[in-house]
Structure formats: C-alpha cells, structure tokens
Amino acid sequence: MRFRKLAAIAVLALGGTMLAASPAHAANIAANPGFESGLTGWTCTASSGATAVSSPVHGGTRALQATPAGNDTARCQQTVSVRPSSAYTLSAWVRGGYVFLGATGTGGTDPSTWTSSPSSYAQLSTSFTTGASTTSVTIYVNGWYGQGVYQADDVVLDGAPGQGQPPAAPTGLTGTGNATTASLSWSASSGATGYNVYRNGTRVGTATGTTFSETPGTGTHSYQVSATNASGESARSGAVSVTVGTGQPPIPAVPSGLAATVSGTSVSLRWNASSGATGYNVYRNGTRIGTPAGTTYTDTPGAGTHSYQVSAANAAGESARSGAVSATVTGTPPPGNLPKRVLVGYLHASFANGSGYIRMADVPNEWNVINLSFGEPTSVTSGDIRFTQCPVAECPNVESEAEFIAGIRAKQALGKKVLISIGGQNGQVQLSTVAARDKFVQSVGAIIDKYGLDGLDIDFEGHSLYLDNGDTNLSAPTTPVIVNLISALKTLKARYGARFVLTMAPETFFVQLGYQFYGPGPNGSTDRRAASYLPVIHAMRNDLTLLHVQDYNSGPIMGLDNQYHTMGGHDFHVAMTDMLLAGFPIAGNPNNVFPALRQDQVAIGLPAAPFAGNGFTTVAEVQKAFDCLAKGTNCGTYRPRGVYPNLRGLMTWSINWDRYNAFEFSRNHRAYLDGLG
C-alpha cells in the first residue's frame, strides 16, 4: 500500500501480476493454452521430454512439463495467425529454476521475459506490436541450460485473431437442468458470429448469443459448445453434464405474502412458504443478498429506501420473483462520532520517503481521520507491535515526543480521530498462535494508551492473512491467523468501548477477488491469500467504523457485471465499491454470500498523487465515481446495483504525498464532499 522508497513502486509494478489470478481475456488466440489436450498445437524440441502432466498445474487439469538437456532449453512453441500493426499481450503461468516466455517473428522488437520460481507458479507477461506486414508470430516457452524440469500453464496471447482464423473455443460453459429443460451459458469468444451446441456428441442447435435452452428428455446429458465465424468452427469446449427430469419435483410456486418491517438499521422480511421449496432467494434492489432455508430473513442495508423480492427454489430450479416491497431505513448516527463525509489520510510518522516528513501539528484541517504509519511487529509471528517516531537522522524536522502527543491532542480537540495503523507493506503480521494474539492485544493497547489514540487501523498486506485448505465457511473460519486476529480485534473493541474507531485498508486482492476465488480453492491451486480479509470484515462488521479498500496497486478485478475492471478510471472505483455495498456470492457460490456493508462503513481508497502508488485517478474521475455511487448520476459503462447516498468518503495514501502534490487531493475532495451534504 505504502512505499518507503519511490523505487518500490517500480518493483511492485513488475511483480504485482504475481499477486492476482489471471483475468479472462477478450481474445486468447493461442491454441490449447492450458495443455488440456496434451501437446496438441504445440511443437517441442526432441530431447525435451515434453508432456502434459496432471500435477503441478496452475489451472484446469493439465500443464506442460519439459526438461532442458545439454544444449536443448526444452522449448515448446506454436505459430499463431495475427493481424498486422496490432497490439498483443502474451502471458503464462510458469514454475521452475529459470523459465522464459517470448515471441519471434513479430515484425518489430521480439519480446522475451523470464522468472525464477522453483516452488510455485508465477505469472510472466510481456507485450508487442506486430509489423505492418506480419500475419503470424511464434510464441514460445522454455527453460534454461542445466536448470532442470519446468512447468508452464494457462498461456494467453491476447489480441485480435488473424484474418481467416476461426475463433477460440468457448470457455466457462455451465449448465443447469430442471424437470423438463436444460439451460446452458458460456463466455463469449472474440470474433465469433455464432455458436454450435452439442448434446452427447451430436449438434442439436445453434445460438448467436451465449445462452441456449432445450427440452432433451429425461436423463443426464453431456453438452459442449463451439464458436463459429466465416473462417470456420473452433474446437469444442469442455463438457458439462446436465440432468433433466428423473423424478425431480416441479419448480415451486412464487412466494406470496412478502412483508418488510424496519427496526433501527435492520429490515426484517417474512413471507408465506411455497410448497415443494427447499430454500429461498432474497433480492435487494435486484441483487441476490441471501439464501435462507426458512421464510424469514434480516438485512442491514444502510440508510435509504430499498426494494425487496423473494423467489423459491428446489432441485428443479428457481421460481419467478415475488412482487416487490419497499423498506426505508433512516439510519443512525455514523459510528465513531465522525461527520457524515470523511477524508482519511495516512501520515508517515515512523519513516521518511521522497514526500517528506510532516509534524503532527502541521497536518491540514481537511483530514477527519489521521492514521499513524506504521506500527510494525518485532517479527512476523511475534504479535509484538512497536511504534516509534521517525529518527532524526531520517527526518531532521521531527518533533519531540511531547510535541507529537500535544499535536495529537490538538487534532482531537478539533474533532479529528488519530489511529495507529498496523502493518503496511513491510510490517507483515501473522497471529498464528494464541500467544501471538495475546501479545498483539497487549502491545497495541500499550501504543493506544501511550499516545491517547482513538482507535486502530488494520493494514495487513503481503502474507499476513491467508486461508487454509478446507476453510470455506465465511461465518466460521478455522485458519489460526484469521481466528486469532478476529479475537484480538473483538478484545480491543470491548476494552475501549463504543467510541473506539476501527478501520481496515485491505487490497482488492484480499476482498473483491473473492467474487471469483476464495483461499486455495477446491483443488488447492489458487493463491490461499485470495479474499482472506472477507471473514475478518464479516466478523467485525458490527464494530467496523470504516472499510477503505485500496483501489490501487491492483490487477484487473471482475465486478458484479462479470467484466474485468482496471484501476485508474471511475468505472473501477464504482465497480469495486458496488461490490461492498451490494454484497456478492463468494467464488460464485450463491449459497455462500458476503453480505453488503452499511453505506456509512465504506470509503474509497486512492493514491494522493501519481507518484504515491499505481492506479492514480484524477480529481475529475474520482468525483465522477462518487457522483455515480451516491447520486446515481455521471455514471460510465458500469451501472451500480443501487444508489448509495450515505457513502462515507475517501481515503488516501498519503497526507505526506498530498502536501508534496500541492494539496490537490485534500482541498478538491474536501470541498466536493462538503458540497454533497
């Protein structure tokens, strides 16, 4: 999140792609990119021993494995038809001592990149632009002399297919069946003008879109889909099985009698049972937020007027939705005794970098919450958190401790909240034992008491949080670093009472990525840190003052529209914030939903200046995003699931970088937020 040295920005820019799962691509024109069909489409050197193995893999069921021998680097390559004067991105997940990825015959500078990652998969990525007369390129992956076996998987050549080339095979095929009907959906293939649908190996229909339904008769059927255009037909997708009939009950009737009762910040729903239903789906403002087994549900949607519907479900499918009922929540005063709209800033209090040191007394009045950066552990697993002011050798203008504390008191007298932020880029904290948990509580409490602080900010990054295999229950996590952190936070909250301010600043990788991935996943192949903040946020949601996810230093993240969004523009902030305020199914599982947070609990996290972090967003784009979310106006291509008039505010890294950038962030956004009321 926050860089001790400017050079770290470049390091993250190079290495950041290793943190997030590879996004879906508009046009992967590589053949057999995941080696699911063995080495089909690939040519490998004779002495490489190249083969498709079932372990270790990055995705799917197979990966390439080859071994350099003598003067042979064990290169595997394929020639792909491309378009002249066109841009392409080449990426792959690789594992080995030294593994290279590149392309030749591009008509320009042939790209090549490499990494050393012998124990786990890492992603390589490069790009190139084809020459004016280039119609094909050769992409390759290889090891290095004497470095032993390597693996490669999920190769992507992203760009426009060459003239005369059929589209890529469709991906993401899913199917459901009810008493009479089989329904299919899949991801679009770039360049496709249509699709062929196969049942049990025989084509049974065509589609121009990415859905298809038929009534095939009772039984279990195997479906595949291919993509077509004027140049021909792609290979078929992987198969899915769909069961129709076989004694399934009919889809239940639409629930009746839906009613809503508001109590404080909660909405209690009840409805009449539908015969044959085994469960129900609850929708708020058109988005599913819960799947209760019974006929009641309680929601905490935040202030505003909300529309609710309910459907009934069983093994045969889902009924139509009920008629809508509205519920208006007036809300309660925002927690933490803060104003309705807040600016949160991190203050470099324990170190210096290119932005310079700011004395506490000199922090501008625009900021409502000041996070002292950082409290850090004596070791990763000790739980012993220490905070010291920046040393004079590093910060010549640092104030004395007495002046520092006096500055904190002066800010608090103006209604500001001053917190200790734990973690940051360098301060990894793993509370893997009960002893570490207890030391965390004791040492953090000592810092809060010494400086008279208002609360705590959790800025765990890197490998601080992760989920163990099999830890899939959002409400009952079992991984020690998660369980112990939740316990520690609840203890601190109980110790300091209702006025204790608790904030969190996770990266998108640890939160919104949960729409696709959660921990190591069912086959253990996903990064186990994926979405690992979610159980902490969920457990603390009733005590959480603010969640300001870092909408920067992020790879592309899929939004609720099932499209990938890239940092730096208003759509990214709208999509990422909408996920927090609408809720979302974790890893696509409708039975495991991360419920929406209250609007007053959410702020948008941003860099204060272009040199403060990757993903800087201009003042105009930030305010366009806030308009879309809070007022429903000025939206771009992404449309949020609701309007959120009580969206709380903005967070930035950092107060120091804002001053370095002539206060552009704080002065413009303070005036904007004050104007919203």
507 is catalytic: no
Could you tell me which residues come within 8 angstroms of residue 313 by beta carbon, excluding any fewer than 6 positions away? 252, 277, 278, 279, 280, 281, 291, 319
Give pLDDT, residue 64.
Answer: 96
Kindly report, residue by residue over 5-45, the tens digit of the pLDDT.
333 333 233 333 333 333 334 468 888 899 988 888 888 98
- Closest by CA to 351, choosing from 309, 392, 299, is 392
Catalytic residue among 214, 461, 507, 621: 461
Give pLDDT, residue 246.
Answer: 67
Given a contact cutoff of 8 angstroms between Cβ atoms, the answer to whether 184 and 173 are in contact is yes
Whose tokens are 């974790």? That residue is 586
SS (H, E, C) 16-50: HHHCCCCCCCCCECCCCCCCCCCCCCCEECHHHCC
Give pLDDT, residue 326.
Answer: 87
DSSP state of 162: P
Dihedral of the alpha carbons of 210, 211, 217, 218, in degrees to the nearest 10: 100
Torsion-angle region of 230 (φ positive above 0: left; ψ -120 to 50: alpha; else: beta): alpha
Give pLDDT, residue 333.
Answer: 44
Torsion-angle region of 41 (φ positive above 0: left; ψ -120 to 50: alpha; else: beta): left
Give pLDDT, residue 336.
Answer: 60
Dihedral of the alpha carbons of 35, 36, 40, 46, in degrees to the nearest 10: 50
Q: How many CB atoms lie within 10 A of CB 602?
A: 23
> What are the φ/ψ torsions at residue 445 (nearest 5 degrees)?
-60, -35
DSSP string, 588-645: TEEEEEEPPPPGGGBEEEEESSTTSSTT---HHHHHHHHHHHHHS-S--S---SS--T
- Closest by CA to 20, choosing from 121, 103, 90, is 121
Distance in angstroms (rounded) separating the CA atoms of residues 117 and 99: 8
Q: In a 10 Å sphere around its CB, with 0-12 CB exposed, 13-18 middle and 19+ buried, how is residue 39 labelled?
A: middle
Spans of the chain, pLDDT less than 70: 1-27, 164, 246-248, 263-264, 331-336
Burial track 215-241 (b if 16+ CB lie within 10 A, e otherwise): ebeeeebebbbbbbbebebbbbbbebe
Distance in angstroms (rounded) separating the CA atoms of residues 190 and 643: 33
Please tell me the pTM assigned to this model.
0.58
Distance in angstroms (rounded) separating the CA atoms of residues 560 and 255: 26
- Closest by CA to 19, choosing from 564, 566, 605, 526, is 526
Distance in angstroms (rounded) separating the CA atoms of residues 202 and 199: 5
> What are the φ/ψ torsions at residue 75 (nearest 5 degrees)?
-80, 135
Given a contact cutoff of 8 angstroms between Cβ atoms, the answer to whether 437 and 382 are in contact is no
| Triad 476, 481, 484: Cα angle to 5° | 70
Give pLDDT, residue 13.
Answer: 31
Distance in angstroms (rounded) separating the CA atoms of residues 533 and 556: 18
Distance in angstroms (rounded) separating the CA atoms of residues 424 and 1: 6
Give pLDDT, residue 264.
Answer: 64
Kindly report, residue by residue over 501-533, the tens digit of the pLDDT.
999 999 999 999 999 999 998 888 889 999 999
Distance in angstroms (rounded) separating the CA atoms of residues 373 and 521: 33
Bridge partner residues of 184 (DSSP): 175, 212
Given a contact cutoff of 8 angstroms between Cβ atoms, the answer to whether 619 and 519 are in contact is no
CA quadruple 599, 605, 608, 610: dihedral sign: negative
Token pair of 289 as six digits: 């937020």
In the chain, the amino acid numbered 175 is G
